[in-house]
Amino acid sequence: MNLATRLGKLPAYLFVDINRKIEEKRARGEDIVSFAIGDPDLPTPSHIIEHMCRAAHDPANHRYPETNGLPELRQAIAEWYKRRFGVVLNSEKEVLPLIGSKEGIGHVTLCFVEPGDIALVTDPGYPVYSMSTLIAGGEPYFMPLTEENDFLPDFNAIPVEVLVKAKLMWLNYPNNPTGATTNLDFFEKAIDFAKDHNLAICHDAPYTEVYFDDQKPPSLLEVPGAKEVAIEFHSLSKTYHMTGWRIGMAVGNAETIDALFRVKSNLDSGIPQAIQHAAIEALRGSQECISEHNAVLQRRRDKLTKVLREIGLTTRMPKATFYVWARVPSGYTSVDFTNKLLDEAGIAVTPGIGYGREGEGYIRLSLTLPDDRLDKAIDRLSNWCR
């Protein structure tokens, strides 16, 4: 048997070695506090679960769902965008529910990228943008996100010969892993740039509801004319602590939404309907859980950044997302420093290099660990430094 060559193009998953090391330590009985998991520790709010349980008992929800979801879900998504961002969407043509946004991010690449084409992806970045490009036979071009440029790509630095072959550009704000946010001025520049160079924009925006100090991040679709070139991915995962239920959405440009629907309708059969009903309740019901979750995360962010600075790591205070992106001390690579923290302090973090070359020199710490574990980690960090 011969596996397809496309598999050979996928680089080894960097976190394998570190995860194995954590497992070995835990098997020996060592207590490792992990900042490595980007998954909310608090449960899905109970009003959402109750809705899902009721829907699960209804035989109407036991059959194959439609690929494009329930009309009521598409409407609830459109209403939510209107309420939250003032963005008007046609729920039939500009909204597509997804089995978690990761699935749509992977599949939309198939709508644009042919062998020899380029996708512009952020570095550091969520690995799916570049991996799906490789699977499609295309080539990722990495746009560096540097601290000097506030973790925004510099469009003028992209070579002309790259732009000729580029079909789409990925953006992600609020950003994983850097925690950076941006504003409508930047989004407007991105859209002008995409129009000038005949690019589609895919904006991955699962963290717009994970924000601090009441500063709500914008949607790229708030820019007038954005829908001519852009779609935006959103997810119930981080907003309502629903990572395990798998539900998200793509919204925006009708032609792209239709293309994505055509790919998906040949590969999947939609989202289990009880989960769609849970999502309708999440989007239409009380939104209080969002400020409650953010208050918890903000307290954790303040505590963690304080101790990181005390032990000499420089870090910006993230305004959104549940990630703290910290510079490692000079003389260490991100992997060296990750191993040192693990061996000497019993603390697991993710090395920045795992998110791309520009992630070298950084580590990512996630705020999604219970408060008592965070306090334990903070004690360990202060003692370790002494």
Residues of this chain that bind ligand PLP (CB under 6 A): 38, 100-102, 126, 172, 176, 204, 206, 235, 237-238, 243, 248
- What secondary structure letter does DSSP report for 182? -
Nearer to ligand PLP, 243 or 338 (CB): 243
What is the separation of C-alpha 301 from the centre of its chain, rounded to a whole number of angstroms? 18
Nearer to ligand PLP, 103 or 139 (CB): 103
Nearer to ligand PLP, 87 or 242 (CB): 242
In the complex, the smallest distance separating the C-beta of residue 360 from ligand PLP, rounded to whole angstroms, is: 19
Burial 192-206 (b: 16+ CB within 10 A, else e): ebbeebebbbbbbbb
In the complex, the smallest distance separating the C-beta of residue 123 from ligand PLP, rounded to whole angstroms, is: 13
- What secondary structure letter does DSSP report for 12? P
Tokens (6 digits) for 65: 């769902």
In the complex, the smallest distance separating the C-beta of residue 98 from ligand PLP, rounded to whole angstroms, is: 7
Give the count of alpha carbons within 13 A of 314, CB side only: 5
Nearer to ligand PLP, 127 or 144 (CB): 127
Nearer to ligand PLP, 102 or 327 (CB): 102
In the complex, the smallest distance separating the C-beta of residue 266 from ligand PLP, rounded to whole angstroms, is: 20
What are residue 139's phi and psi, to 5 degrees? -130, 125
The count of other CB atoms within 10 Å of the CB of residue 9 is: 13
The count of other CB atoms within 10 Å of the CB of residue 58 is: 11
Cα angle at 217 between 88 and 310, to 5 degrees? 170
What are residue 107's phi and psi, to 5 degrees? -75, -30
Helix (H, G, I), strand (E, B) or coil at 168: strand
In the complex, the smallest distance separating the C-beta of residue 149 from ligand PLP, rounded to whole angstroms, is: 19
Of the candidates 383, 237, 202, 222, which has an alpha carbon nearest to the alpha carbon of residue 322? 237
What are residue 346's phi and psi, to 5 degrees? 65, 35
Burial 83-98 (b: 16+ CB within 10 A, else e): ebbebebebeebbbbb
Nearer to ligand PLP, 100 or 179 (CB): 100
Give the count of alpha carbons within 13 A of 226, CB side only: 26
* Amino acid symbol at 194: A
In the complex, the smallest distance separating the C-beta of residue 279 from ligand PLP, rounded to whole angstroms, is: 11
In the complex, the smallest distance separating the C-beta of residue 348 from ligand PLP, rounded to whole angstroms, is: 18
User: For the chain, give me the number of helices (H) and strands (E)?
Assistant: 14, 12
Nearer to ligand PLP, 238 or 264 (CB): 238
Nearer to ligand PLP, 97 or 361 (CB): 97
In the complex, the smallest distance separating the C-beta of residue 99 from ligand PLP, rounded to whole angstroms, is: 8
Nearer to ligand PLP, 37 or 295 (CB): 37
In the complex, the smallest distance separating the C-beta of residue 265 from ligand PLP, rounded to whole angstroms, is: 19
CA distance linking residue 282 with residue 84, whole number of Å? 14
